[in-house]
Copies of this chain bind each other. A is one copy, B any other.
Amino acid sequence: MKLTTKSEYSLLALTYLARHQKRGYIRMEDIADQYGISKKYLEQIFISLKQARYITTKTGAGGGYKLTIPADQISLAEIIRLMDGALAPTVAASKYFFEHTPLEKEEKIMQVFKEIRDYISGKVEGMKISDLV
């Protein structure tokens, strides 16, 4: 029932970028140090975030990363879905990542998981990176 570090680190990194926006470009190493995360691992996460257009980068001295989208327009939901997929406890109960599983045969269980899905969605759709700063 868990998120992976990809989601976790993404949320941390984006929060850090939002918090230090006025400093302009932020070095990856600052973020890695701040949270005690592997720099090289974080790099790969940043590449995904960049491809998804959440951040832009600048190479060289004084370079680093910064947000391209206002922090109040980035929901936790979209970051978690990008990194980890379904918010629902099982894909059989997922809207965006639906797949068939044996669980579908049991309607009552499905109902429980859909309610959990809806609660989680509501929570993390409504919550923005700016709310975390």
Question: Residues on A close to B: CB < 8 A?
Answer: 1-3, 5, 8-9, 11-12, 15, 34-37, 76, 80, 84-91, 101-103, 105-106, 108-109, 112, 115-116, 119-120, 123-124, 127, 131-133
Contacts and interface: CB of A to CB of B under 8 A. Distances in A.
B37 A102 contact: yes
Contacts of A119: 116, 119-120, 123
Nearest to A32: B102
Interface SS of chain A: helix
A133 B36 CA distance: 47
Contacts of A87: 1
Contact of A90 (B2, B15, B76): B2
